[in-house]
Amino acid sequence: MSTPVMLLLAVGVAAVLAILVTRGSNDSESSEPSNENTTNDAETVTKTAKEETPKTEVKPDPVAEAPTEEVATKAPAEETAEEAPAEEVADETPAEETADETASDEAPSDPPQPEAAVATTGLNGDDLGPNVLALLEVSGDHLGGAARATLAAAIQLAKATDVELHVCCLGSATQSAKEACVEGVTAVHTITNDAFNEPVAELYTAAALTALQATQASIVVAPASSTAKDYVPRVAESLGAGMISEAIAVDGPKTFKRALWAGSAIATVEAHSDRLALTIQPTAFDPVKPGDGSTSAIEFDAPATKTHFIEFAGTVSERPSLGDAEVVVAGGRGCGVSGGESEFDFSPVENLADSLGGAIGASRAVVDAGWVPNDWQIGQTGKTVAPKLYIACGISGAIQHVAGMKGSKTIVAINKDPEAPIFQVADYGLVGDLHQLCPELIEKISNEGLKVG
């Protein structure tokens, strides 16, 4: 056989082998999935696509390239609804019905209804009249200075509003209520109940609402005591009334003045509601003189309360209380002693107060230092006093302290620093060491036989 013939046979055999190898490779590739992570549904779509599309045109995401009609014939009905384009769904189901079904799936069948407000009182517009009601917390045989100052504010408000003024005294013992029978008061009522021995805000709120109905009043006035600060806002919420807290002046039926930022600014505020709840700063009003008259009792059933009284930790003292004393002697950081046996000596302040029959007060600095009890503190975060005579011993006169005593009728300052701010609000000032000046004052008082009142 010649060489050219042998070459032709070799080329032919090689071509046949190449064709066989190519067919085997194609069969092997078609038997394996193009992507290991493709689901069974995707494999079905891939095989369908291969029947019409050459191998080289298949994309990594075969589902996106598959014809919609063939997928619909191969895949189950539920899967077809999920994978079919929106146009085909729109052909089978009207758009309005689809929207209704979608809305019903996303929203609950019954929309949630707003919770009904808790009924705190049965009062309505017909139950209350236009009168003013002064609520006083009483105990003992005589009305305190805060109660009589509240009466003074209530009388001014009733005159400005041109309505009747009723007074209701709340407590376990209300014999002092007769002293509230003063000029300008229409009637004095009492709510007497042993439950007030363990007072909570819910109890006072219920009593106040009962008194409002009995007196046909829609305006409430109370002192800015710790108890009233707790329950008067509850009364305002129950009435839907405007709330004015710690007023220092009554300018009109709905207009009042309030002190802001420890008294460094005075705001004039006006209520725009017919019903009003008002607490007043007792030291801002001159207390009325005690009266004498008859009272009437209001029936009251004490409700069961969710809050329970645990304990009252009070201080028993033979000295007058800060709120009622006509003379107050207060000590500050200047009572400290340097170089002595002790770092603090408050005895000059105590002896001066006892010689005048007055109460003892203190600034926050000495209270925080633990030198004196907390109930002696006077100032923005302590008690507010307005005695006839206030003597500040060793007190610098920070605005927070002045806010609690600037209503005093006469202020005397004793301080060894002539630039101390206390001298700016004092009527009289003594520059010197209080440990020397207080004993001298005590001696003068004793020799002159001075008395309080």
pLDDT digits (tens, 9 = 90+) for 9-56: 665 656 655 555 455 444 444 444 444 443 444 343 334 333 444 444
Q: Judge whether 25 and 18 are in contact, CB under 8 Å.
A: no
Domain at 327-448: CATH code: 3.40.50.1220
Residue 18 half-sphere exposure, CB side, CA atoms within 13 Å? 6
Whether 75 shows a pLDDT value over 60: the answer reads no
Q: Between residues 284 and 338, which one has the greater pLDDT?
A: 284
The pLDDT assigned to 12 comes to 61
Going by their DSSP bridges, the two strands 131-137 and 165-171 should be labelled as parallel
**CA–CA gap between residue 6 and residue 12 (Å, rounded):** 10
**CA–CA gap between residue 389 and residue 133 (Å, rounded):** 32
Segment of 42-46, 61-65, 328-332 carrying the highest mean pLDDT: 328-332
Q: How many residues does the chain have?
A: 453
- 369-395 tens-digit pLDDT: 999 999 999 999 999 999 999 999 999
Give the residue-averaged pLDDT of 203-208: 96
The pLDDT assigned to 13 comes to 59
Q: Give the angle subtended at the CA of 241 by the CAs of 238 and 244, to the nearest 5°.
A: 120
Q: Between residues 421 and 128, which one has the greater pLDDT?
A: 421
Residues of the chain with CATH 3.40.50.620: 131-297
pTM for this model (two decimals): 0.67
Residues of the chain with CATH 3.40.50.1220: 327-448
Q: In what order do the strands lie in the sheet with 410-415?
A: 359-362, 327-331, 389-393, 410-415, 428-431
Domain at 131-297: CATH code: 3.40.50.620
What is the residue-averaged pLDDT of the chain?
Answer: 79
- 97-156 tens-digit pLDDT: 444 444 444 444 444 443 333 333 445 445 789 999 999 999 989 999 999 999 999 999
The pLDDT assigned to 29 comes to 44
**CA–CA gap between residue 196 and residue 193 (Å, rounded):** 6
**Number of other CB atoms surrounding residue 194 within 10 Å:** 10
**CA–CA gap between residue 392 and residue 372 (Å, rounded):** 15
448: exposed, middle or buried (Cβ count in 10 Å: 0-12, 13-18, 19+): exposed
